[in-house]
């Protein structure tokens, strides 16, 4: 793959959300680079994931644990399973750095997670840092900033 | 309904030697009585003094369901005040925390108060010349809480005059705070990292009981910790064991691990798991930390401090601390079926940053609303809150390893899977509920 077009970046981000909504989580995980990270900050405008608390800061191993757990027979909080739904605004191209093979998109979104009779709505911005690896776009970092990131939440069990 | 108000006998009858009645979890009247009595007669955690380092710094929180704030007064002591204006009731602080300068100023009519809560000034005060203000409730300003104690940075308040003094209430249990603070080469902690807030649709006591429930991790957390172990087993040979696996894996330890770790109970409902070892015992050493501890305390003392690996210490009624990883959890009651869990983390002053990094990772993996461990805990609590509606059996069993010779309000060390600590909490519950009835 040569440098991706803006439309290819946009299509990638939209497909990524769709894979989550369709519970195709093994394929979703494959979208991450080997050192890829999923980050959900706890603090407004957070810059440090290490010495400031986050809701999630997970490498591929931790994401694998989540996905494998969802398949288990004794995953009590997922009996019945949650479902989720993303509504994305068209992703904006935040930065194109072809020399360093790094592309950043910014996507406002609404995310719904539901289980039993309960349905929760979250508003967030997703920032994707993407890179071309072996001819395919991959996620180096997906950062999800929830608008009320510091509010008291109940269970958030799937992926925004 | 007034089944329990004014009826000491009915409240006492909720607690038996090895059973407690479901109303302690689901009855709104019992909940209101808890707020009026239990949370007023006991020493309840407010906050840490590192949250208010400078005069005028304040932090707003609750004791039970009472809005309060703690503030660093001009004399450098920490005061606890009721967070309302004596005029119309307006909450005084606008932010959760901040600096108010030399005085608080109500945003409604500009009444001002010194940081010890006393009334400073009222605009157009001549309007009160004949109003008998000095004999009114308003004369008390922001109603300072009389019983406040700062123990090595941890600030507690007791709202009622009845009930024991601080030292008498906590006694030997303070050794768990000592161990957490002593783990700093400087002998000081600072709140750091940010607080995780997690809403639970269940009674606050379910969470408190869970902290010393050592028969649940390998069951409720098989899905998370068990999966973590399996995923780790598939890692390429020679891969360094990640910190996250060190944190997850011990949740799957077998029953005998938990039996042998031991539980110690103390009077007044306090107690802890992990007398001999705990799930925190086998974490990798943090480079440079032990040397700093030896420099600060000498080798023997440093070893003694670090060899103490208490698991969860309950400070009755609603605080749990984890000394070895510098984390506390506060179970804030909101309603009979609603609890806000706050998980706070601390930096050991003068210790390497990697310790705080591990503390924050633990908090994120175990205590966050996004935690796969937390998910299954909350699931079982909420199922219990639901299941307790069953009329056919109205009692919860807390009888594991009960012996009729078991002492009440004593210090004892026992098997790590006992439910004695839960019984201990309910006996204290009964005592402090009825003390002021």
The HSE-up count of residue A66 (CA atoms within 13 Å, CB side) is 26
In this structure, what is the dihedral angle of CA atoms B60, B61, B66, B71, given to the nearest 10 degrees? -40
> Global pTM?
0.97
Inspect the interface and report whether the beta carbons of A153 and B369 lie closer than 8 Å: yes
Q: Does A40 touch chain B (CB under 8 A)?
A: yes
- What is the phi-psi region of residue A101: left when phi exceeds 0, alpha when psi lies from -120 to 50, beta otherwise? left
Q: Does residue B409 sit in helix, strand or coil?
A: coil
Q: How many residues does chain A have?
A: 160
Distance from CA of B283 to the nearest CA of A (A): 18
Distance of alpha carbon B351 from alpha carbon B292, whole angstroms: 7
pLDDT tens-digit map of B418-437? 999 999 999 999 999 999 99
Q: Does A6 touch chain B (CB under 8 A)?
A: no
Distance of alpha carbon B79 from alpha carbon B17, whole angstroms: 39
pLDDT tens-digit map of B13-44? 999 999 999 999 999 999 999 999 999 999 99
Number of other residues whose CB lies within 10 A of the CB of residue B239: 11
Closest CA to B275 of B347, B176, B364: B176
Q: Which residues are within 8 A (CB) of A38 and not within 5 positions of it... i.e. 6 or more apart?
A: A32, A56, A57, A58, A63, A142, A144, A159
pLDDT tens-digit map of A106-141? 999 999 999 999 999 999 999 999 999 999 999 999
DSSP for A3-71 reads SPPHHHHHHHHHHHHHHHHTT-HHHHHTTEEEEEEEEEESSTT---SSSS-EEEEE-HHHHHHHHHHHT
Q: Which of B226, B353, B376 sits opposite A77 (nearest CB)?
A: B376
Q: What average pLDDT does the segment A31-57 reach?
A: 98
Q: Does B166 touch chain A (CB under 8 A)?
A: no
Q: What confidence tier does A154 reach under pLDDT thresholds 50, 70, 90?
A: very high
With 90 as the cut, is the pLDDT of residue A2 above it?
no
Residue B362 burial by Cβ neighbours in a 10 Å radius (0-12, 13-18, 19+) = buried
Q: What confidence tier does B1 reach under pLDDT thresholds 50, 70, 90?
A: low
Inspect the interface and report whether the beta carbons of B379 and A40 lie closer than 8 Å: no
With 80 as the cut, is the pLDDT of residue B263 above it?
yes
Inspect the interface and report whether the beta carbons of A51 and B192 lie closer than 8 Å: yes
Distance of alpha carbon B344 from alpha carbon B342, whole angstroms: 6
CA nearest to B197 within chain A: A152
pLDDT tens-digit map of B189-207? 999 999 999 999 999 999 9
With 90 as the cut, is the pLDDT of residue B214 above it?
yes
Q: Does residue B58 sit in helix, strand or coil?
A: strand
**First-residue to last-residue Cα distance in chain B:** 17
Inspect the interface and report whether the beta carbons of B242 and A56 lie closer than 8 Å: no
Q: Does residue B97 sit in helix, strand or coil?
A: strand
Bond before A80 cis per omega within 30 degrees:
yes
Q: What average pLDDT does the segment B51-77 reach?
A: 98
DSSP for A61-124 reads HHHHHHHHHHT-TT-GGGSSPPEEEEEEPPPEEEEEETTTTEEEEEEEEEEEEEETTEEEEEEE
With 90 as the cut, is the pLDDT of residue B94 above it?
no
Picking from A50, A155, A157, A160 by the largest number of B CB atoms within 10 A of its own CB, the best residue to mutate is: A155
pLDDT tens-digit map of B145-162? 999 999 999 999 999 999
Number of other residues whose CB lies within 10 A of the CB of residue B436: 14
List CB contacts (< 8 A) between A77 and chain B. 223, 375-376, 378-379
CA nearest to B342 within chain A: A152
Q: What confidence tier does B234 reach under pLDDT thresholds 50, 70, 90?
A: very high
Distance from CA of A38 to the nearest CA of B (A): 12
CA nearest to B199 within chain A: A154
DSSP for B355-396 reads HHHHHHHHIIIIISTT-HHHHHHHHHHHHHHHHTT-SS--EE
Q: Which residues are within 8 A (CB) of B59 and not within 5 positions of it... i.e. 6 or more apart?
A: B47, B51, B52, B69, B70, B71, B96, B97
List CB contacts (< 8 A) between B378 and chain A. 77, 154-155
B residues 168-227 near A, CB within 8 Å?
A: 192-201, 220, 222-224, 226-227
The per-residue pLDDT of chain B, averaged, comes to 97
**Contact by Cβ (8 Å): A146, A122:** yes
pLDDT tens-digit map of B275-297? 999 999 999 999 999 999 999 99
């Amino acid at each position: 793959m040569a440098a991706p077009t803006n439309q290819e970046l946009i299509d990638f981000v939209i497909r990524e959300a769709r894979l989550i909504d369709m519970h195709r989580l093994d394929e979703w995980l494959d979208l991450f680079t080997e050192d890829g990270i999923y980050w959900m900050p706890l603090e407004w405008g957070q810059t440090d994931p290490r010495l400031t608390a986050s809701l999630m800061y997970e490498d591929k191993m931790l994401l694998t644990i989540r996905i494998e757990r969802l398949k288990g027979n004794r995953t009590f909080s997922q009996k019945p399973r949650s479902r989720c739904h993303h509504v994305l605004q068209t992703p904006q191209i935040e930065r194109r750095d072809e020399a360093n093979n790094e592309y950043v998109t910014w996507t406002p979104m609404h995310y719904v997670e539901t289980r039993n009779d309960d349905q929760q709505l979250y508003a967030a911005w997703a920032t994707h840092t993407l890179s071309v690896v072996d001819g395919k776009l991959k996620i180096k970092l997906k950062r999800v900033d929830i608008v009320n990131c510091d509010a008291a939440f109940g269970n958030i069990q799937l992926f925004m | 309904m007034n089944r329990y108000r004014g009826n000491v006998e009915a409240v006492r009858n909720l607690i038996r030697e090895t059973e407690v009645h479901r109303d302690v979890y689901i009855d709104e009247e019992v909940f209101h009585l808890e707020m009026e009595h239990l949370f007023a007669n006991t020493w309840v955690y407010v906050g840490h003094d590192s949250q208010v380092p400078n005069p005028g710094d304040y932090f707003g929180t609750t004791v039970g369901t009472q809005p309060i704030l703690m503030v660093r007064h001009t004399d450098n002591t920490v005061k606890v005040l009721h967070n309302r204006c004596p005029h119309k009731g307006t909450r005084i602080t606008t932010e959760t925390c901040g600096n108010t300068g030399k005085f608080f100023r109500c945003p409604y009519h500009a009444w001002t108060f010194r940081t010890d809560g006393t009334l400073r000034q009222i605009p157009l005060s001549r309007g009160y010349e004949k109003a008998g203000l000095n004999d009114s409730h308003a004369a008390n300003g922001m109603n300072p809480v009389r019983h406040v104690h700062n123990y090595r940075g941890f600030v507690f308040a007791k709202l009622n005059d009845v009930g024991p003094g601080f030292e008498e209430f906590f006694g030997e249990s303070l050794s768990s705070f000592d161990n957490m603070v002593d783990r700093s080469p400087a002998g000081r902690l600072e709140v750091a990292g940010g607080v995780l807030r997690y809403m639970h649709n269940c009674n606050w006591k379910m969470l408190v009981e869970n902290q010393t429930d050592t028969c649940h991790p390998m069951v409720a957390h098989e899905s998370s910790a068990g999966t973590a172990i399996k995923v780790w087993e598939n890692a390429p040979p020679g891969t360094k064991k990640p910190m996250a696996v060190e944190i997850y894996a011990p949740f799957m330890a077998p029953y005998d691990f938990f039996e042998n770790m031991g539980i110690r109970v103390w009077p007044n409902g306090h107690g802890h798991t992990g007398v001999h070892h705990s799930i925190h015992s086998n974490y990798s050493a943090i480079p440079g930390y032990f040397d700093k501890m030896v420099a600060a305390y000498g080798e023997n003392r440093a070893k003694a401090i670090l060899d103490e690996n208490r698991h969860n210490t309950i400070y009755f009624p609603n605080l749990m601390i984890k000394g070895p990883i510098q984390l506390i959890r506060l179970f804030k009651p909101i309603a009979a079926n609603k609890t806000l869990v706050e998980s706070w983390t601390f930096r050991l002053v003068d210790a390497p940053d990697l310790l705080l990094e591990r503390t924050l990772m633990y908090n994120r993996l175990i205590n966050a609303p996004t935690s796969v461990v937390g998910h299954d805990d909350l699931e079982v609590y909420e199922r219990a809150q639901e299941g307790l509606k069953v009329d056919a059996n109205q009692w919860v069993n807390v009888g594991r390893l009960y012996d009729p010779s078991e002492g009440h309000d004593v210090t004892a060390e026992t098997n790590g899977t006992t439910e004695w600590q839960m019984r201990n909490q309910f006996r204290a519950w009964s005592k402090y509920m009825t003390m002021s009835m």
